[in-house]
Each structure stands twice: as structure tokens, then as C-alpha cells.
């Protein structure tokens, strides 16, 4: 059996049965092995950022790693930005990166690069397979790391000669055991209980990571109901389960001024899989840390813990284990479709249209800033945001989310600027017949940068600066772009059209795109 | 004056007056400075691979560096693949990469990454500006390195606080002096002369880099005419000046078998800015080095030398300084337009249509394998190929070549697979009204990989392997894709249509795209 065959067998036997791929010559033995080994679903992306972003979305929905298949250093480099996002989201991924045969590396052929060095900044673990004999063991270690808690970006570099050489048999190893979950730190738990018992009105429970999954957030809701503390989530979360019947957790605002204002009244902040809040960017004369000076930060649990268990223990500590979870009444903003087309009416249309158990992938940037509150009463759904800030995350993550959660509808909310970083994802959606509706908000600018230009104190922009932030020359036509990749597409120029087109797209069951003219 | 203003001033004063940019928040002070400082042409790309590839193309045509403006580690990462190609082409580029303000880095905000580590694998030099006082000096050093011989990829990281702080005045420094060019190595020159005098019929003069510029290659032609030696170029060259009236230098074949056959009869190979020939990839049972075993390799000159001077000295050594340069008679393949549409008829149409002084950017991959000979008699033109092998190079390089050589027509030859890596370049072509004609060869597959699958000994592909190499589900519609980015586009389904559409596109003076249905 070749090393490539051993690798595919080992992945499948260890539960990694989806591979997002953009292969080249050095990966042909892996591709060939797919013909002879059952159980691996291989999904082609036309650009590597699609591949790595899809693996991120897949992990977020399944809590299991997918594999990627990437071609040498430059192919890996094209996938780094979405690996950055996945790493910040603590998604587990097994990257398989082909490299030249070891003897060929010394010849400095054109595609030669230091693959380990390319991988390192956006990986938690990098390993070059040294021998065909170690393929199975090295692969199992990568899967173990990518499946751990916290999960890791595990990058396994496979030199071509290790792929094509005959190797050892696949070991009949059991799947790697899940790592044990440590209990919450007892002194942090005691401090959190103390704050909630005595200073609940000035205490914030700040949730991140898996603490905004419904089973965990419901405990936070009981704690809030019993103690009167506030509950918020970080601005970015990997997957928030929200909507009608669930405890509503509002996001910390993005802007420094709004976030510091929101946090000003809290002298205690209890972090549950969240970080001490910091500004996304630094601005002259503004703070980097967002909490009130002198406030006490209690780090209750991190990604290595079980957030649901931690919050249940906290609820026990404050006597809040009974009672219904406070949940929105299901009211949603009225009559979005009757209003002029703007952020508010779009949010209302969304809230009315989000189907039960939908997955919303949010890269709407400036247009989507206020979707949070408006959609809290929508049908129960999952909401995914970009943890790493590298744009081009949304369409690829939608691909992976759809493959990870078959039977659920995916809505990808995109700015036109951000969608242009990885538009190739549309093609994979069509190829795989994914139930994804892409909504592109076409404001024809890097709108967020107009605000940022002022925020950083760079003054009023002149003609040349504005030119760098404006995408209207030429106008991007998303209907043509989608059709160019085989996707049905429409254009909505009023809230009523958006409402009608969104309902039709969601009902169609196949992928489609709506360009919203702003 | 802010650090950002000092930086823009210093770039312009040192002759760097084009900046390919995809900025974010941390680069807003640089963008703002453009309003107040004249002399910098800033060209927006919607994806960073467009930005870095354009800087490569610009250098190839001007032999002067452009700047890039990139947003933090992930933005730089998106540009790495084309920086890899530029580095292998020895193009000089000054990358300006914004980073968080230094005090902000410790807070681990979402976009935080190790920017130096991201830059290192694809840069020759990486430097983080430590203080606003050093901005001018650090910038001059970057320009000096990017302008040197050999030129370097110089990456300058600008923390946001160094951009927004008030800094020193711009020094009234002269432009950096060009580095001195060393003379050719006398013993290598003597060995080369000796081989040409005594064994010319089994001696190959292998040209790369600037040795295939016309002024250098003409000397090689005189040497060949006088001695009877053979002359070839490396398979990939940054810019070959060729066509009617110029000495024809054929490319070394791509495939290992064809290349070893082509080199078998040479017991001496004289390298002029070329490398000892190696296979692009390793294949089981095939050699990595392509020259005949036991042949003597004479490294006559490298990128630090002046190839024209080296070849002139060699011509003097063999007494070949007089006489006309042997040049093709201008015959081109007849009647391409009358033939069925295939690689041969396409090559014939191209040969007939290439305008005087056109720039051909070749990323045609499998379809373009035989364009070399067919176009040797076309009107004089430059031919640019991919030195690093990372696909997605062609459309961005065409952007930069057009900006670097105004008044000349650019033809970008693209495979459909390769064009999908950086399609965003079409938008920049329209925005800048560039005189570029894009020809996409739509074979609807990664055709090269079908051959590679066999070459690596992976056997006949089955259904799953073929599926990973095939792009026909869905079909990419390049007419729609181009129109989606505001570009005029047509489809050619016969050689006659291609001939007519190519002539019309070239005459139009503006950017357009032709999809060739294969």
C-alpha cells in the first residue's frame, strides 16, 4: 500500500471523512487513492481559500475536523487567511500539504519553498512526514490534535516520495480517545459566584466559543434571571445558537466607543470561553482594552473546558438551576418588506424569512452591524461570524457549513467587497448542490473603511483616498458573476423584492444568489 | 509630518511611483497621505494576489520596483503565492504591510499574527519599522534592495502607530546608487570559450533571466552562427524579447522525457543567468537533473551580472563580434483561421495577430505548450512566463505589465483553471482602462493534471480521481464572469471566430476577454 493510500485509510478510520481539496501534481497519489478507498468525500475548490474556509465551516457545525488537500507552499499560502480565521475560531483542521519528493528539494525547482515556514504562523502544529513507515502514526497524531479540546490546526506535510512509496499496512488502531475535560478552576468559580451573589447588577457574564451554544447559553439565562447580572457575547463567535425560545445573548458592540460605553457599568466581568475584551484595531487616543479601568476580570473557563458544564456549575453556585430559560416572545420587526431598502428593513426581512434550523454565515460587515437585535426573535437558527477578521471567510465557511449540516438551509450574508476575496466558493456550492442562499449587499465600496479613515484620525478623505475605498468603477454585477459560476441569481432593488426573492431562494433547495442594491 | 507621509514621500523621491494596493484600517494613514502628496499612482486590487502579481509584471517591464500596500498578516498571506513567483523571477518589489500599533499587539486582537513570519518565506528581506524616526531610512533601504541586482522582495512592516505619529522630515537624499555590476568570472569565461572553440557541436548555451532580452540574446545568436553551438532558454523566463528580426531562442521542453532528450547530446552546458536544468516535479524512476550524466556545467553568470556584457565578452572570446544576427524570416504558420479549433490553429492565429511590441503573458498551461515555435516569426514582442509555478500569476502580471508599459498592447493567455485563482484582476483592468486582451482557453479541466497523474505512476484514474481534475460541473462561463466585472467579452468556438475576435479586441484599445471553447 502506498503512503498516500495509508494516509487516506487512516483519515477515514479515524473519522475524517470529508476532504476539501485543490490538488496539484504532488498530490496526485492522494487523489488516485480516493478511487481505491471508500468513505472519503472529496470536495473540489477552485482556490485554496475556499478549501480552508470550508474546513472551518465544517468544524463549526460538526465539531469534527475535515481534511484539506493543498499543493506545496504557494497552495498552502493561498489558504492561510482562512486558516488564520479558523485558528482564531479554534476550529480543528487536518491540512495535508504535498511537497516535492525529498531528493528533489535540493534542486530548487520553481515551486520549491519552505512549506513548514509557510504553515507555521497559521498552524498550531506542523509536521513533515519523514518516512512512509510513519504515515499512519503521523496522521493519527494530526487527527488527535485537530479533534482535541481546544482543537488545533494540524498541518501534515507529505513529500511526494512518501506518497508514492509502498508503506506499512494501516494499523488497526482505535480512534483517538477524546481528551479529558478539566473541571472549572475552583477559585475562579468561587470568585464568580461571589461576584454574582453580591454585585450582580454590576457583573457581566461574557460568553464566547461554545458558551453561546444553546445548551450552555440557557444556563447563563437562568443565572441572569436569578441574579440580575448582565449577559453578553463577544462581538465574534464561532457559532451562536439563537432565535425564538432561546435565551437572547447580545453581542458586544464592534466600535470602541460603543463597547466601552456598554462595559462601563461593570466592575466584574466573568469570562466563559471569552477573552478580556479588546478593540479590534488600535486608534490614536482610544483604549485598547474595553472594560472599565479597575474592573475585575474573572477568567472562569477557556476552550479546554466544557462551557455548558462550567455554566451549570456556576448556576448551582448561585442557586439558579431551576426555572424556565428567559426567551424572546418571538416578536420580530414588523413590515420590513413595506419599508425603503436599508439596513433596518433588510434586518426585518431576514428576521421574517430565516427558516427553522437555518445556518446564517455573517460577513455582511457594515450593512450587517445591526442584524443582531433584529433577528433575536427569528426562528431558531445558528449564527456564524468571523473570528479572525480576515475577509473572504463567509462564502467558503458557508460551503463547509452546508456539507457539515445536510438538511439545514444556509444563508450567507456578504458585503460586495468581502465576497470578492473568495468568489470561487460559488462554483463549489453549485457543484455540490448545496442548499445555500447567498445575499450580497452591494454598497459598492469598502464602506467600513470610510468610517475607519475617520476613526484613525486620518482626517476627511480627499479624492485619491476615496478612490481606494470605492468599488463603483466599474460596478460589480453579482448576477453575472454568479451565472458565470453556474448559479441562479436575482437582483433585489426594494425590500419587497428582497423579501420575495429570499423566500423563493430558500424554497428552491439549491444554491442561489441575491444581489441587494444599496 | 506623519510616518505614513514620510513613507509616501520617500518612496516617490526614490523613484517608486506606482503602488498596487488592497488596504485596510491599519493602512488608512498611508491612503490618506496620497491626498496630500503628489506623484504616487495608486492602483486598487480587490484581492491581494492581484496586487503582488501586478508588482511582478510591473518590474518585468520596467526593471523598477513598484510598492504594494497590504493589510496585516492575512492580507500579506493572500499575496504570498504571487510573491513566490516574483521572487523566483527575481523581480524587485517593496511590500508595505500594515500591522497593529505596537502596544496593541500584546492584546491579541482577532487580526493579530506574526507578520514577519508570514513574510519571511517569500521575501528576501523583512523589516519592521521600529520608530517613526527611522521610516525614511528604512524605506530607502527597502527601495535599494528592491532596485538592486539581483533585485529583492523587500517587505517593510509599518505598525499603525508609526504611521500616525508625527515623524522626522523627509531627508533630501539622492536616489540610491545602482549597485556595481561585477565582471564575468574569468575562469568560467575561459572554460566557456574553450568549450565553444573545441566542442561547439556538443555545447549548449542555456539562457535565462535578462539573457533573453534581445540585446543579450543577439550576442548568443552571433556566437551560435560563428561556432555552431546550440542556444536554448530555460522553460520559464521573466521576459523574452522575440519575434521577427530577432534571434530565435527555443525553450527547453517542460516534460522530463522531452527535456532529457533535448539535452542528451550536450557534454557542455554554459549557463548565462540560468540554472542547471532540473525537472519541475520529481517522478518515480525519472531523473531530477535533466542534463546528460557526466556533462560539464559551466556557470558563466548569474543575476548579479549584466547578461548582455557577459555574452558580448563571450562573443569576443570566440571571435563572433561581427556579422548579422541570424533571425527568422518572418514566416508564420499559414491559415490558422481555416483550421479546426485546436492548439495548432490557436497558435497560428496568435502568430498572425500578435501586434508589434505586444506583451504576451503566458499562463496557458497545457493548451499553450506549443505556442513557442509557432510564434517565433510573429511581430516583435515580449513573452512573459511564470517563474515560480504558482498558478494565478497571469492576469495580475498582465495588469502590472500594462501599467509598466503604457502604449503597448498586452495579451494574457490563460487556462480556465489558472484564471480562476485571481479572476479579480479583470476588475482592475477595467478600472484602469488597460489595453489588455485576455484569452481564456476553456478546456474545463485541470488538463495538465491528467498527464501528471500518469507521470507520477498513479495509474489510470477512476471516477473519483477524474472528478478532482474536471471543471465542467458546473461549466464556467467566462463571458458572464468578465461582464460581472465590467469587461466586454465574447466567445470563440472556431478558429475563424478567434481570429476575428482577437483582431477586434486588440483594435479596441480597452480591456476585453475572449473565451475559447475547447
How confident is the model over B204-213, as pLDDT tens digits?
Answer: 999 999 999 9
Instruction: Tell me if A84 and B104 make a contact (CB, 8 A cut-off).
Output: no
- Interchain CB distance below 8 Å, B31 and A469: yes
Q: Give B448's contacts in chain A (Cβ within 8 Å).
A: 25
Nearest residue of B to residue A285, measured between CA atoms: B161
Q: Which of A78, A420, A430 sits opposite B424 (nearest CB)?
A: A420
Do B46 and B140 share a domain, yes or no? yes
Joined together, the cell numbers standing for residue B423 give 479572476
Q: Which residues from chain A sit within 8 angstroms of residue B455, using beta carbons?
A: 25
Asked if residue B47 and residue B152 are part of one domain, the reply reads yes
Domain boundary among A132, A164, A196: A164
Q: Do A9 and A89 have their domain in common?
A: yes
Average pLDDT for B213-220: 96
Nearest to B282 among A160, A281, A423 (CB): A160
Rounded to 5°, angle at Cα A280 from A332 and A192: 75
C-beta contacts of A133-137 below 8 A and 24+ residues apart: A133/A167, A133/A168, A135/A3, A135/A6, A135/A7, A135/A10, A135/A162, A135/A167, A135/A168, A136/A6, A136/A7, A136/A9, A136/A10, A136/A167, A136/A168, A136/A170, A136/A171, A136/A173, A137/A171
Question: Which pLDDT score is estimated for A447?
Answer: 87
Between CA A300 and CA A448 the distance in angstroms is: 34
Query: What is the H or E stretch that residue A141 is in?
Result: helix A135-146
Q: Do A484 and B480 touch (CB under 8 A)?
A: yes
* CATH assignment at residue B311: 3.40.50.1220
- Domain finish residue from A317, A344, A375: A317
Spell out which residues of chain B touch residue A489, defining contact as CB-CB under 8 Å. none
Question: Do residues A125 and A145 make contact, with C-beta atoms less than 8 angstroms apart?
Answer: yes
Q: Do A159 and A284 contact (CB within 8 A), yes or no?
A: no
Average pLDDT over residues A215-229: 96
Interface probe, candidates B458, B459, B466, B483, chain A, greatest A C-beta count within 10 A: B458
Whole-number pLDDT of residue A425 = 98
Query: Computed from CA positions of residues A265, A448, A333, A507, in that sequence, does the dihedral angle turn out positive or negative?
Result: negative
The DSSP secondary-structure symbol of A383 reads: E
Nearest CB to A458; choose among B32, B74, B467: B32
Least confidently predicted of A52-66, A170-184, B146-160: A170-184
Task: Give the E-state strand segments of B90-141 in sequence order.
Answer: 93-99, 125-128
Contacts of B484 in chain A (CB under 8 A): 476-484
Q: Do B47 and A420 touch (CB under 8 A)?
A: yes
Q: Do A478 and B468 touch (CB under 8 A)?
A: no
Q: What is the mean pLDDT of residues A43-56?
A: 98
Tell me the shortest Cα–Cα distance from B320 to chain A, in angstroms: 33
Chain centre distance of CA B402: 13
A106 lies in some domain: yes
Residues of B in contact with A456 (CB under 8 A): 25, 28-29, 160, 164
In a domain, A210, yes or no: yes
Q: Which of A73, A120, A457 faces B164 most closely, judged by CB atoms?
A: A457
Is B351:B372 a contact under the CB 8 Å cutoff? no
CB A299 within 8 A of CB A310: no
Does residue B287 sit in helix, strand or coil?
Answer: coil
Tell me if B324 is assigned to some domain: no
Substitution target from B81, B122, B283, B442 for chain A, most A beta carbons within 10 A:
B81
Nearest Cα residue in chain A from B237: A110
Domain check: are A102 and A236 in the same one?
no
**What's the N-to-C CA distance of chain A in angstroms?**
57
Q: Is the pLDDT confidence value at B291 over 80?
A: yes
Please tell me the distance in Å from A79's CA to the nearest CA on chain B: 8
pLDDT digits (tens, 9 = 90+) for B367-380: 887 898 899 999 99
Contact A468 B34 (CB under 8 A): yes
ipTM of the complex model: 0.96
Q: Are residues A148 and A284 in the same domain?
A: no
Write the DSSP string, A45-109: -SSHHHHHHHHHHHHHHHSSPEEEEEEHHHHHHHTHHHHHHHHHTT--EEEEEEE--HHHHTTT-
pLDDT average, residue stretch B304-312: 96
Same domain, B485 and B362: yes
- Of all residues in chain B, the one with the smallest CA distance to A237 is B110
When scoring B21, B29, B32, B442 by the number of chain A Cβ atoms within 10 A, the one with the most, hence best to mutate, is B32
Report how far apart, in Å, the C-alpha atoms of B337 and of each of A26, A473, B9 are. 38, 36, 52
Tally of domains in chain A = 3
Which chain A residues have a beta carbon less than 8 Å from that of B447? none
Backbone angles phi, psi at B178, to 5 degrees: -65, 140
Size of interface A-B (CB pairs under 8 A): 314
Q: Looking at beta carbons, which residues of chain A come within 8 Å of B423?
A: 423-424
pLDDT digits (tens, 9 = 90+) for B333-369: 666 778 889 999 999 999 999 999 999 999 998 888 7
Q: Least CA distance to A280: which residue of chain B? A: B109
Answer yes or no: do A77 and B80 touch at CB < 8 A. yes
Contact across the interface for B475 and A463, Cβ inside 8 Å = no
Q: What is the mean pLDDT of residues B504-510?
A: 96
Give the per-residue pLDDT at A176: 58
What does the mean pLDDT of chain B come to?
94
- Are the CB atoms for B517 and B493 separated by under 8 Å? yes
Q: Which residue of B has its CA nearest to A236?
A: B110
B349 backbone dihedrals φ, ψ, rounded to 5°: -60, -45
Q: Which residue has the higher pLDDT, B226 or B455?
A: B226
Residues of chain B neighbouring A160 (CB-CB closer than 8 A): 281-282, 456
Listed residue (A289, A471, A311) closest to B45, CA to CA:
A471
pLDDT at A42 over 70: yes
What three-state secondary structure class fits A381? strand
Question: Measured between alpha carbons, how far apart are the two ends of chain B, in Å?
Answer: 57
Q: Quick check: A174 pLDDT over 70?
A: no
Q: Minimal Cα distance from A105: which residue of B? A: B282
Residue B327 phi/psi, 5-degree rounding, is: -140, 150
B4 to chain A: closest CA residue? A458
Residues of A in contact with B461 (CB under 8 A): 31-32, 35
Residue A257 has pLDDT above 70, yes or no: yes
Predicted local distance difference test score (pLDDT) of residue B330: 62
- Cα-trace Rg, chain A: 24
User: Do A476 and B427 make contact, defined as CB atoms within 8 angstroms?
Assistant: yes
CB–CB contact B459 A49 (8 Å): no
**Among A26, A84, A455, beta carbon nearest to B281:** A26
> What Rg do the C-alpha atoms of chain B give, in angstroms?
24
B110:A387 CB<8 A: yes
* B468 → closest Cβ in A23, A120, A282: A23
Taking CB atoms and an 8 Å limit, are A35 and B465 in contact across chains?
Answer: yes
Which of A317, A350, A371 terminates a domain? The answer is A317
Classify residue A234: in a domain, yes or no. Answer: yes
Q: Please, what's the b/e burial string for A169-195 (b: 16 or more CB within 10 A of its CB; e: otherwise)?
A: ebeeeeebeeeeeeebbeebbebbbeb
Decide if A100 and B281 are in contact by the 8 Å CB cutoff. Answer: yes
User: Distance between CA B497 and CA B200 in Å, rounded?
Assistant: 46
Q: Are the C-beta atoms of residues B416 and B394 closer than 8 Å to each other? A: no
Shared-domain flag, residues B345 and B309:
no
Considering the domain architecture, whether residues B146 and B200 belong to the same structural domain is answered as no
For the stretch B38-87, pLDDT in tens is 999 999 999 999 999 999 999 999 999 999 999 999 999 999 999 999 99
Quote the pLDDT of residue A288.
96
pLDDT band (50, 70, 90) for residue A454: confident
Which pLDDT score, from 0 to 100, does residue B331 have? 67
Whether B24 is in a domain gets the answer yes
CA distance A396 to chain B (A): 14
Q: Do A465 and B101 touch (CB under 8 A)?
A: no
Q: Chain B closest CA to A244's CA: distance in Å?
A: 30
B230 in the same domain as B149? no
pLDDT of residue A452: 86
Query: What residues in A contact B107, CB-CB < 8 Å?
Result: 278-279, 288-289
| Residues A367-389, mean pLDDT to the nearest whole number | 92
Whose cell is 523589516? That residue is B127
* CATH code, B359: 3.40.50.970
- Domain membership of residue B481 (yes or no) is yes
- Classify the C-alpha dihedral B264-B265-B271-B272 as positive or negative: negative
Nearest CA in chain A to B424: A420
Identify whether A171 is part of a domain.
no
Give percent of chain A above pLDDT 90: 85
Domain assignment of residue A155, given as a range: 3-164
CB contact under 8 A, A111 and B465: no
Cell 438538511, located at residue: A407
A205 within a domain of the structure (yes/no):
yes
Evaluate whether B394 touches B438 at the Cβ level (below 8 Å).
no
Cβ distance A75 to B81 less than 8 Å, yes or no, reads yes
Q: A517 near A494, Cβ under 8 Å?
A: no
Q: Which of the two residues, A168 and B59, has the higher pLDDT score?
A: B59
Q: Contact, A492 vs A515, CB < 8 A? A: yes
Residue with more model confidence, B274 or B464 = B274
Which of A169-173, A206-210, B142-146 comes out lowest in average pLDDT?
A169-173
Contact assignment for A456 to B25 by CB distance below 8 Å: yes
d(CA A374, CA B331): 70
Are A392 and A513 within one domain? Answer: yes
Contact between A77 and B122 using a beta-carbon 8 Å cutoff: yes
Chain A residue with CA closest to B36: the answer is A462
Q: Are B258 and B349 in contact (CB under 8 A)?
A: no
Interhelix angle A3-13/A28-36, nearest 10 degrees:
60
Same domain flag for B295 and B351: no
**Alpha-carbon distance B285 to nearest alpha carbon in chain A (angstroms):** 11
Mutate to test the interface with A, among B25, B163, B236 (most CBs of A within 10 A): B25
Instruction: Reply yes or no on whether the pLDDT at B175 is more than 80.
Output: no
Three-state DSSP at B241 gives strand
Contacts of residue B88 in chain A, CB cutoff 8 Å?
A: 110
Place of cell 505512476: B457
Are residues A465 and A379 both part of a single domain? yes
Amino acid at each position: 500500500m502506498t503512503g498516500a493510500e495509508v494516509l487516506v485509510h487512516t483519515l477515514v478510520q479515524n473519522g475524517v471523512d470529508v476532504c476539501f481539496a485543490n490538488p496539484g501534481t504532488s498530490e496526485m497519489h492522494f487523489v488516485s487513492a480516493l478511487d481505491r478507498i471508500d468513505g472519503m468525500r472529496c470536495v473540489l475548490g477552485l482556490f485554496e481559500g475556499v478549501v480552508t474556509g470550508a474546513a472551518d465551516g465544517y468544524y463549526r457545525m460538526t465539531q469534527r475536523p475535515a481534511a484539506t488537500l493543498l499543493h506545496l507552499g504557494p497552495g498552502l499560502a493561498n489558504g492561510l487567511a482562512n486558516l488564520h480565521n479558523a485558528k482564531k475560531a479554534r476550529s480543528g483542521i487536518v491540512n495535508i500539504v504535498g511537497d516535492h519528493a525529498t531528493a528533489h528539494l535540493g534542486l530548487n525547482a520553481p515551486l520549491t519553498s519552505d512549506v513548514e515556514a509557510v504553515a507555521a504562523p497559521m498552524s498550531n502544529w506542523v509536521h513533515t512526514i519523514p518516512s512512509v513507515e510513519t504515515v499512519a502514526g503521523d496522521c493519527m497524531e494530526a487527527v488527535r490534535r485537530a479533534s482535541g479540546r481546544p482543537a488545533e490546526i494540524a498541518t501534515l506535510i507529505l513529500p511526494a516520495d512518501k506518497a508514492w512509496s509502498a508503506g506499512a499496512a494501516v494499523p488497526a488502531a482505535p480512534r483517538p480517545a477524546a481528551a479529558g475535560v478539566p473541571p472549572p478552576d475552583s477559585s475562579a468559580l468561587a470568585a464568580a459566584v461571589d461576584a454574582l451573589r453580591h454585585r450582580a447588577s454590576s457583573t457581566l457574564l461574557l460568553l464566547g466559543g461554545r458558551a453561546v451554544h444553546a445548551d450552555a447559553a440557557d444556563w447563563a439565562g437562568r443565572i441572569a434571571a436569578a441574579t440580575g447580572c448582565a449577559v453578553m457575547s463577544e462581538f465574534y463567535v464561532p457559532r451562536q445558537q439563537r432565535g425564538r425560545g432561546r435565551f437572547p445573548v447580545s453581542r458586544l458592540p464592534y466600535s470602541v466607543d460603543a463597547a466601552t460605553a456598554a462595559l462601563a457599568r461593570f466592575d466584574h466581568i466573568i469570562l466563559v470561553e471569552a477573552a478580556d475584551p479588546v478593540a479590534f484595531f488600535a486608534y490614536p487616543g482610544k483604549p485598547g482594552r474595553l472594560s472599565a479601568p479597575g474592573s475585575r476580570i474573572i477568567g472562569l473557563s477557556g476552550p479546554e473546558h466544557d462551557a455548558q458544564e462550567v455554566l451549570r456549575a456556576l448556576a448551582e453556585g448561585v442557586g439558579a438551576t431551576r426555572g424556565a430559560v428567559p426567551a424572546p416572545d418571538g416578536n420580530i420587526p414588523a413590515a420590513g418588506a413595506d419599508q425603503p431598502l436599508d439596513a433596518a428593513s433588510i434586518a426585518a426581512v431576514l428576521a421574517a424569512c430565516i427558516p427553522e434550523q437555518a445556518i446564517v454565515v455573517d460577513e455582511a460587515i457594515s450593512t450587517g452591524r445591526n442584524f443582531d437585535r433584529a433577528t433575536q426573535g427569528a426562528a431558531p437558527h445558528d449564527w456564524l461570524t468571523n473570528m479572525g477578521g480576515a475577509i473572504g471567510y463567509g462564502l467558503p465557511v458557508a460551503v463547509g457549513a452546508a456539507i457539515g449540516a445536510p438538511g439545514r438551509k444556509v444563508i450567507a450574508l456578504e458585503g460586495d467587497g468581502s465576497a470578492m476575496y473568495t468568489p470561487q466558493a460559488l462554483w463549489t456550492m453549485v457543484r455540490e448542490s448545496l442548499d445555500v442562499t447567498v445575499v450580497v449587499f452591494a454598497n459598492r465600496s469598502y464602506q467600513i473603511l470610510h468610517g475607519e479613515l475617520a476613526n484613525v484620525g486620518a482626517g476627511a478623505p480627499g479624492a485619491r483616498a476615496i478612490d481606494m475605498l470605492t468599488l463603483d468603477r466599474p460596478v460589480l454585477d453579482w448576477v453575472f458573476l454568479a451565472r458565470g459560476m453556474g448559479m441562479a441569481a436575482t437582483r433585489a432593488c426594494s425590500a419587497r423584492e428582497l423579501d420575495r426573492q429570499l423566500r423563493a431562494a430558500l424554497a428552491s433547495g439549491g444554491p442561489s444568489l441575491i444581489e441587494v442594491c444599496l
